[in-house]
A and B are shown apart, each in its own frame.
Chain A
Amino acid sequence: MKPPRFRYLRAESVDGALRALADNPDSRPLAGGQSLIAMMNLRLVRPACLVDINRVAGLGYIREDGDGVAIGALTRHNDVKHSDLVRARCPLLTEAYESIAHHTVRNRGTLGGNLCHADPSSETPAVMVAVGATLVLQSVGGRREVAAEDFFQGPYETAARQDELLVEIRLPGRGAEGWAFAEVSNRHGDFAIAVIATTLRLADGRCEAARVVASAVGEHAARLRPAEDALTGGAIDDAAIERAAEAAAGAVDPHSDSHADAVYRRDAVAALTRRTLRRAAERCG
C-alpha cells in the first residue's frame, strides 16, 4: 500500500528540529525510516507531520565518554555494528548486531530511531537495559537523562514526550563485567521470537550483580528480576544457572502468534537464559 498524506518539515540543526517538534504537536521525528515508513506503508501509523532529522549535523558520532561510549542518536546501525570502540567497550551491543536486521536496512536505520520506535521484539532495547545505558532527551526546554530501564514503557511507547528528541545514547564502561546476547528467530535477521541479553559481575567467584533482560516476550524489553535474584550472592554454577533459567521462564508472560506460541517462547527464554549465562560467566574478568 501507499503511505497516508503528511506534512514534511526538514530540520538542518538540533535546534531547528526541536522547534519544529514544539511548534507542531502532531509531529514526530523521521530518522532512517526503516520501521516508521514500513508501518506507514501498511497504514498502521498515520503521523500528520514528520520532522526529517536525517540532515541534522552533529547527531551521528561514536566517541569515548569516560570509560564508556557516547553514540549520537542518528548514527546508522552499520556504523555502530562495525565500530571498534563499541566492540571494545560495549561488546554486548556488537554481539547483538549479529542478529539485527539485514545489511541494507542497517545502512539507513539508526540506533536512536530504533530505540524510540520501541518495537516489543527489538534487540537494542534489551542491550540498553542490560548494560544500564542512559538516554539523553532534548527539547526546547532543555535536556534530561533517562535510564534505559525507565525509557521503555510499552509496545511502541517510551518516556520521550512528543516534543523531545533522543540525541545521545551513553553506554557505561564494562569493567570486568561478563556479557552475552542470544535470540531465536525464524530466519537470520528477522523479527525475534525471544531475546535474552545478560550481564554479570563477579567478585571472589560470587555473583555481585546480574542483569537478565528479555525482549520479544512481553510489552517491552524488561529485566527478569526473579532470574537475577536467583544468581545474586552465589557462585555461577550449573545449579544456579538452572534456577535462573527456570525463574526467567516463570517471569515472562509471552504472547502467541503465527511465528511461535507462548509455550515455545517460554521454553526459548529458559534456553536462552542458560546459554547467555554460561557465556557471560566465562567472559567475566
Chain B
Amino acid sequence: MERETISVTVNGRAYERQVEPRRLLSDFLRDDLRLTGTHVGCEHGVCGACTVMMDGVTARSCLTFAVMADGAEIETIEGLGSVDAMHPVQRAFWEKHGLQCGFCTPGMLMTAVELLERNSDPSVDDIRDAISGNLCRCTGYQTIVDSIRYAAHLMREDGA
C-alpha cells in the first residue's frame, strides 16, 4: 500500500506520520493521533462537527486529506482550553447551556472562535450566518447564539 510521510503541527506539537493518501484529516486526528475531540458526523461536509483550524482558518477535516495538511498548523478543540483554564468561548457555552449532547460542540466552538477573531461584537444575524454550516440537533440553536454573544462579551472584557 502506497504511503506518504507527512509532518503536521497539531495544537503546537509536531507530529510525523505515514498515511495512506485517502486518509481523511478527521480520521488522522482521531485514529492516528488519538485526538478524539474532533467529531465526525456526516463525513461529507454538511454537518460541520469535524471543523478544525488549519493555518488559522476553519476547515472541514472530513473534506481534507491528511496529505494535504502536510506542513500545516492544525488547531483542534483539545488546543482551545482545559477544564482548569477554559477558553472564553468554552466558558460561555458552559454558562449559557450552549450544548446538550455535545456532538456538534467541537465544531461549533472552532467556528465561533474564527468568527470572534474577525468580529469582536457580532450581531445575532452575524452569528447565525457564521454557524449556518454547523448542524445541531438538540438545542434549536438559541442557546448557542446566546453563548457566542456572551463569549464575545467575555472576550471584549478580557481585552479591555
Contacting pair A107 B59 (CB below 8 A): yes
Candidates A8, A40, A52, A189; contact of B132 at CB < 8 Å: A189
From 230 to 265 in chain A, residues with beta carbon under 8 angstroms from any chain B beta carbon are none
Candidates B1, B21, B58; contact of A107 at CB < 8 Å: B58
Residues of A within 8 A of B129 (CB): 103, 188
Contacting pair B60 A3 (CB below 8 A): no
Is B27 an interface residue, CB under 8 A from the partner?
A: yes
Expressed in whole angstroms, the Cα–Cα distance for A40 and B21 within the complex equals: 13
Contacting pair B43 A8 (CB below 8 A): no
Closest B residue, CB atoms, query A104? B58
Candidates A2, A39, A52; contact of B68 at CB < 8 Å: A52
From 96 to 154 in chain B, residues with beta carbon under 8 angstroms from any chain A beta carbon are 111, 114, 129-130, 132-133
**How far is the CB of A157 from the nearest CB of chain B, in Å?**
22
Residues of B within 8 A of A38 (CB): 44-45, 63
Residues of A within 8 A of B63 (CB): 33-34, 37-38, 41, 105, 108
Expressed in whole angstroms, the Cα–Cα distance for A245 and B117 within the complex equals: 44
Size category, A interface: 20 to 34
Is B57 an interface residue, CB under 8 A from the partner?
A: yes
**How far is the CB of B37 from the nearest CB of chain A, in Å?**
17
Contacting pair A54 B68 (CB below 8 A): yes
Contacting pair B111 A6 (CB below 8 A): no
**How many contacting A-B pairs (Cβ < 8 A)?**
88
Contacting pair A7 B59 (CB below 8 A): no
From 10 to 40 in chain A, residues with beta carbon under 8 angstroms from any chain B beta carbon are 10, 30, 33-34, 37-40
Residues of A within 8 A of B22 (CB): 2-6, 40
Contacting pair A104 B59 (CB below 8 A): yes
Residues of A within 8 A of B132 (CB): 102, 187-189
Contacting pair A105 B21 (CB below 8 A): no
Expressed in whole angstroms, the Cα–Cα distance for A135 and B149 within the complex equals: 43
Expressed in whole angstroms, the Cα–Cα distance for A33 and B63 within the complex equals: 6
Residues of A within 8 A of B54 (CB): 108
Residues of A within 8 A of B4 (CB): 8
Encode contact with B along A84-107: 1 for CB under 8 Å, 0 otherwise. 000000000000000001111101
Encode contact with A along B21-47: 1 for CB under 8 Å, 0 otherwise. 110100100000000000000011100
Expressed in whole angstroms, the Cα–Cα distance for A104 and B111 within the complex equals: 8
**How far is the CB of A52 from the nearest CB of chain B, in Å?**
6
With A1-B43, A104-B58 known, 6 other A-B pairs at CB within 8 A are: A2-B22, A2-B43, A5-B20, A7-B21, A103-B58, A188-B129
Taking Cβ atoms with an 8 Å cutoff, the residues of A that contact B are: 1-8, 10, 30, 33-34, 37-42, 50, 52, 54, 101-105, 107-108, 187-189
**What 3 pairs across the A-B complex have the smallest Cβ distances?**
A102-B133, A8-B21, A38-B44
